[in-house]
């Protein structure tokens, strides 16, 4: 069925809610172009995973933390993890305004976790859920410092290790020419199992836009639900973020897909994937897979709250990553 006919059907089904989205998915898939890449490219990454050539020259790291005594433990874990990075970095915790006692308490609790970091308090935030947008503004300003090669935004409960960053930098070189961005898969643990947090459904590869290697042993899948509570950008992506008139709350809450999937606070770190999207794709985020059923461990990041697997009435945080792809 061609995209013209599907577009006509979409208009018919527009008033029927969920049916419209099914038609939108079919339109996207019908417009998808088959992209083939060389197997050697992926194999080279596997060999060079630990090489310092895949480190950023210097990274600006921003952690979004709305003050809550109970969540300081998570923040300390994140800072200790960042302390293990072997590359140059500048770390800033952006938080809401608080009294001096609370600020001193926070500073004291964090001091032993990382040798050097900054805390910025944002005054007069009209709505707590807007704090991530202040973080994005800070990252845009950091772009003026040409020593930064990469920019990382983290929610206060996300662990990203060096291998994750190496994977992103290497994979970005592959995907950049197609205007795509490497994705992470946010996971929680249930015993020894890794559980996908942000995918409410099993991903049917045949019904999803993808990139394949010539042998079809490796590939990248275009996630319909790409949220991963973080955002990593190189200078080109940050420049695009700064220049685009679409990077803002108004675009996010008016976008057909984003307004359905994401609250305001989550839009700030996912919106880059929904601008300048090539025709035939849900967004710009792509996750690697092997043999159509395995997701490489280096693309998986940890959600240390581990709360979704415990929620019986929650549709997220239920699928074992070994069964996520079909």
Is residue 17 one of the residues assigned to a domain? Answer: no
Asked if pLDDT for residue 16 goes beyond 80, the answer is no
Is residue 107 one of the residues assigned to a domain? Answer: yes
Place of tokens 């989205």: 21
Is residue 244 one of the residues assigned to a domain? Answer: yes
**By percentage, how much of the chain surpasses pLDDT 70?**
87
Burial 156-172 (b: 16+ CB within 10 A, else e): bbbbbbbbbbbbbbbbb
Is residue 184 one of the residues assigned to a domain? Answer: yes
Is residue 97 one of the residues assigned to a domain? Answer: yes
CA 231 to chain centre: 5
Is residue 145 one of the residues assigned to a domain? Answer: yes
Cβ–Cβ < 8 Å for 235, 149: yes
pTM exceeding 0.85: yes
pLDDT at position 315 is 84
Is residue 20 one of the residues assigned to a domain? Answer: no
CA distances from residue 101 to 75, 98, 112, 128 in whole angstroms, order as listed: 18, 8, 18, 20
- Average pLDDT (70-77) is 96
CA distance 250 to 275: 13
Number of domain units in the chain: 1
pLDDT at position 149 is 98
Q: How confident is the model at residue 50 (pLDDT cuts 50, 70, 90)?
A: low
pLDDT digits (tens, 9 = 90+) for 180-224: 999 999 999 999 999 999 999 999 998 899 999 999 889 999 999
DSSP state at residue 32: -
Domain that holds residue 47: 32-323
pLDDT digits (tens, 9 = 90+) for 85-105: 999 999 999 999 999 999 999
pLDDT digits (tens, 9 = 90+) for 216-255: 889 999 999 999 999 999 999 999 999 987 777 776 666 7
CATH of the domain at 77: 3.90.550
pLDDT at position 260 is 74
pLDDT digits (tens, 9 = 90+) for 121-137: 999 998 889 999 999 99
pLDDT at position 246 is 73
Is residue 246 one of the residues assigned to a domain? Answer: yes
Q: How confident is the model at residue 273 (pLDDT cuts 50, 70, 90)?
A: very high
């Amino acid at each position: 069925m061609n995209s013209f006919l599907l577009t006509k059907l979409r208009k018919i089904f527009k008033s029927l809610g969920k049916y419209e989205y099914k038609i939108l998915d079919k339109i996207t898939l019908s417009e998808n172009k088959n992209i083939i890449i060389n197997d050697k490219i992926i194999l080279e990454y596997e060999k060079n995973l630990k090489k310092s050539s895949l480190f950023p020259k210097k990274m600006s790291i921003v952690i979004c933390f709305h003050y809550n005594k109970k969540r300081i433990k998570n923040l300390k874990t994140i800072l200790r993890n960042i302390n293990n990075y072997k590359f140059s970095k500048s770390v800033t915790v952006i938080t809401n305004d608080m009294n001096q006692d609370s600020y001193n308490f926070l500073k004291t609790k964090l001091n032993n976790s990382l040798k050097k970091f900054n805390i910025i308090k944002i005054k007069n935030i009209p709505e707590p859920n807007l704090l991530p947008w202040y973080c994005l503004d800070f990252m845009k300003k950091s772009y003026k410092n040409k020593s930064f090669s990469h920019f990382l935004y983290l929610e206060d409960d996300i662990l990203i290790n060096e291998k994750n960053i190496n994977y992103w930098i290497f994979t970005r070189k592959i995907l950049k020419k197609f205007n795509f961005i490497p994705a992470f898969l946010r996971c929680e643990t249930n015993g020894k199992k890794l559980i996908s947090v942000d995918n409410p459904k099993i991903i049917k590869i045949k019904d999803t836009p993808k990139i394949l290697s010539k042998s079809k042993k490796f590939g990248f899948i275009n996630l319909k639900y790409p949220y991963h509570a973080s955002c990593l950008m190189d200078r080109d992506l940050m420049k695009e973020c700064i220049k685009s008139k679409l990077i803002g709350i108004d675009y996010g809450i008016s976008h057909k897909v984003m307004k359905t999937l994401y609250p305001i606070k989550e839009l700030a770190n996912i919106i880059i994937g929904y601008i300048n999207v090539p025709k035939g794709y849900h967004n710009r985020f792509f996750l690697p897979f092997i043999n159509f059923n395995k997701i490489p461990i280096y693309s998986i990041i940890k959600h240390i709250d581990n709360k979704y697997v415990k929620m019986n009435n929650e549709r997220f945080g239920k699928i074992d990553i070994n069964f996520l792809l079909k």
